[in-house]
Amino acid sequence: MSREKSCIMTQLDGNNHSVFSLNYHLILITKYRKEVITDVISEYLKHIFCYIAPKYKITLSEWNHDRDHIHILFKAEPDSGISKFINAYKAASSRLVKKGFPEIVEDLHEGQFWARSYCLITAGGAPLEILKEYIRTQGEDYDGRKG
């Protein structure tokens, strides 16, 4: 397989000035890992995500949950402002879930829904070693000589 074909990793997104593929895996946990996320609450959290996301040029790719955390796979654009989005989402979803599901408030630590921290990981594309090799061999002919 040629080097050009090996670098094609995924479908690229684009705007007026660039092409990109920015996929992220976000994990949010409840404060002190309180087990309050039901299927119904997860769907409500997902609805809030989908409502806020377009304002930040973010689109949902995949969603799932456990009793004390959620996993979100999403796509973004280079100017999405991901940390601002995450903070806005956490604030809005916490407020709305506590309002919509008041029965869980007593199970939360001091009324706080989300833990302060989160895990955000880039996802998709070629493994790092393949990318490193592709970059190292730029400018070489297919037989390994500089061209």
Write down the residue that tokens 């190292």 correspond to.
136
106 SS3 class: helix
pLDDT for the residue 120: 97
Domains of the chain: 20-136 (3.30.70.1290)
pLDDT tens string, the chain, 147 residues long: the values are 343 443 344 578 888 888 989 999 999 999 999 999 999 999 999 999 999 999 999 999 999 999 999 999 999 999 999 999 999 999 999 999 999 999 999 999 899 999 999 999 999 877 888 888 887 888 776 666 665
Q: Sign (positive/negative) of CA torsion 137, 142, 145, 146?
A: negative
pTM: 0.83
Q: Cα–Cα distance between 135 and 29 in angstroms, integer?
A: 37
Write down the residue that tokens 């039901």 correspond to.
38
Q: Cα–Cα distance between 36 and 42 in angstroms, integer?
A: 10
- Enumerate the H helices of the chain as residue ranges: 3-6, 39-52, 82-100, 128-136
